[in-house]
Amino acid sequence: MLKKIVSVCLAACLVCAGCALAEEGSFVSYHSDFSAGTDGWYARSAGGAAVSVTEEGLKITGRTASWNSPGRDFPLQAGKEYALSVRVRQESQATANFMISVAHSKAGTESYENLATGAAKKGEWTTVAGTWTPGEYDNYILYVETAGSDTLDFTIADFTVELNEVRLGQDDPSLKEAFAPWFLLGTAVTQGEALNTQRMDAYSYHFGIYTPGNELKPDSVLDVAASMRLVKEDDTAVAVRFDAAKPLLSYCRDHGLPVHGHVLVWHSQTPEAFFHKGYKASAEYVSRETMLARLDNYIRQIMAFMDQNYPGLIVSWDVVNEAIDDSTGQLRQSNWTKVVGDDFVERAFEIARKYAPKDVKLYYNDYNTPIAPKTDGILALLARLTAEGNIDGYGFQAHYSATSPAPSRIRAAMEQVEALGLRVRISELDVTIDGNTELNLKVQAIRYADLFKIFMEHAEHLDAVQLWGVSDDLSWRASQYPLLFDRLLKPKPAFHSVLELAKAE
């Protein structure tokens, strides 16, 4: 009986160790039940462990460490999403925890990731499964190991690797094209999504401008350890890094897609050490002058990096995020007010204007805009910023429920911002529901259509409308199903409601 191996390829296949594998760059799927041999699997150990074929599958014995495992080389493609699964069985203890893991190397340096986990009861076959998107490495070894210090013998069967096809309502008209007469339609994505080029290709069918969800926030960009070394000579020195943001920036650069930068200054997701002497969180706060100098160095280096590496890619920035308190409408108290003072927002915009390219628009971004007393506080801050001449627009967050706030209040708040002469971007849009029921999905669809109708009415003032995520499973509000696509990337009724609205106009 021939072993069950499926290897679908776009190019000619190679014959290696008696089995068919696709050439690198064309690997699509693999499955083996080990009925005809080890199929290229071997024991990963420092010596002593061995694999053998049994009637049930591939068994490993003689393990002396949890990483000792059956492993195999695979010609995976970076940026592609794979579904992985294996059945495992052990006869040694009540329960044992198993993992599908990968050892990958680049330029001779090996590193590791755990990709999927599962608990196998004694004597029972258990499936361990998950998905994974490889990064850029020279080679990949997939293997099955135990967690903790377990060194028991075990058997694997039906190891499967399959390239996932990522589609996102691409049988329907494109959302970005449908709304092109009114505004740019975009979304926010995370580093994990950006690494998955299949997913990004699907996203780009519907969305034409992108915001990194977390990767340009201060806790991703500020390199505290490197800054700590630099301040031994100059306490205003700042070190920055962009590893987390590069996947999205590079994809958008390579595909001609603009990016909105989020965010330069925020009270949250900013390392505490940024505000303290020597970059030590336990030390005293620095002076106002030192903090302003650090902020100047921070923003200058960000703008310089973008200009040198991604010129013209970032078309706008959220300079300051969420500086107004919800309950009082006054300036939110934070490390920025403690160290710099109540004018930290104005000074941040002044610095950003100094270093940003002339055609890059600068935004203040906040939520609950239609809800008093925050409305008045936001408008007062925008008026001060407008008077200084360093702001271009307002990021009108729209994290709403299916019933609140009322459309009339949203319209009124938008009109008040527009009256200041500022551009508007709907910067973070999602609509929550209480459960994934047919009725709730219909209510959500109506709400989305009502919101988009408002946005279309104000299109002459809008630079963009951006969803805060693409699919429900990856949303920060995942339990409330807030987006246009479900967990399987299928269009929801809300998707069709806004599409029909655009077609009807």
322 is catalytic: yes
For residues 69 and 44, give the distance between their C-alpha atoms in angstroms, rounded to a whole number: 5
Sequence letter at residue 11: A
DSSP codes joined into one string, 142-153: EEEEESTT----
391, 383 contact by CB (below 8 A):
no
For residues 498 and 493, give the distance between their C-alpha atoms in angstroms, rounded to a whole number: 9
| DSSP alpha helix (H) spans, 136-186 | 175-178
User: Which one is catalytic: 428, 438, 460, 505?
Assistant: 428
485, 472 contact by CB (below 8 A):
yes
**Residue found under tokens 């949303």:** 475
480 CB-contact burial (10 Å; exposed 0-12 / middle 13-18 / buried 19+)? buried
* Cα torsion through 290, 292, 295, 299, rounded to 10: -130
Task: State whether residue 405 is helix, strand or coil.
Answer: coil
136 CB-contact burial (10 Å; exposed 0-12 / middle 13-18 / buried 19+)? exposed
For residues 261 and 314, give the distance between their C-alpha atoms in angstroms, rounded to a whole number: 6
Residue ranges of E strands in 313-360 = 314-321
User: Which one is catalytic: 81, 193, 215, 322?
Assistant: 322
Beta bridge partners of 395: 365, 425
β-pairing, 19-22 vs 13-16, is antiparallel
β-pairing, 398-401 vs 423-432, is parallel
How much helix, strand and coil, in percent to the nearest 5, is found in the chain? 30, 30, 40
23, 9 contact by CB (below 8 A):
yes
For residues 279 and 290, give the distance between their C-alpha atoms in angstroms, rounded to a whole number: 12
For residues 155 and 143, give the distance between their C-alpha atoms in angstroms, rounded to a whole number: 12
Q: In 3D, which of 255, 30, 283 has the Cα closest to residue 142?
A: 30
145 is catalytic: no
For residues 451 and 338, give the distance between their C-alpha atoms in angstroms, rounded to a whole number: 38
212 preceded by cis ω (within 30°)? no
The helix/strand count (H/E) of the chain reads as 13, 22
349, 340 contact by CB (below 8 A):
no
For residues 275 and 335, give the distance between their C-alpha atoms in angstroms, rounded to a whole number: 7
For residues 22 and 30, give the distance between their C-alpha atoms in angstroms, rounded to a whole number: 9
For residues 276 and 291, give the distance between their C-alpha atoms in angstroms, rounded to a whole number: 9
Q: Which residues are catalytic?
A: 322, 428
